[in-house]
Amino acid sequence: MKFDQSLSSEQKKAFLLLMSVIFHYHGLDEDEQRQLDEIAQQMNASEELSWANHFITSDYYTAFERAKDFLQDTVGKYEKTIKLAYLNEVWKATDKKGYISEMEATAMLKLARNWEIEGDLVALVRK
């Protein structure tokens, strides 16, 4: 996936919410915040990142379920290749810290299942 300014505001919000909610799943650390900031800068999406952060922090305990619903209504309608690209980018970003926690992997697999691309994601990350 190319992080550029050609994505719509909705696409930027959806991607940054996806990445942010996965990073927040176990508690956002400094490296993850730095990654979010860098990607938002590359995408010219500081407002969308602020929106995603507010979405999560407005009710941290229900953030994943609310994000899952929001993402189903947005990303869930995208083509299979785009949905897979979004999750693959988040998987790679999460892996940059040296590991992917079981909680993070499970959260991404839940989303992939909702988007009907679970098998595709598993095949992709096994490569």
Q: Where are the domains of the chain?
A: 9-126
Q: Would the pTM of this model clear 0.75, i.e. be above it?
A: yes
- By three-state DSSP, how is residue 4 classified? coil
Q: What percent of the chain stands above pLDDT 90?
A: 76
55-73, pLDDT tens digit by residue? 999 999 999 999 999 999 9
Q: Among residues of the chain, what percentage have pLDDT more than 70?
A: 96
Looking at every residue in the chain, the average pLDDT score rounds to: 91
Confidence of residue 90 (pLDDT cuts 50, 70, 90): very high
* 77-104 burial code (b ≥16 CB/10 A, e <16): ebeeebbbbbbbbbbebbeeeeebeeeb
Looking at residue 89, what is its pLDDT? 92
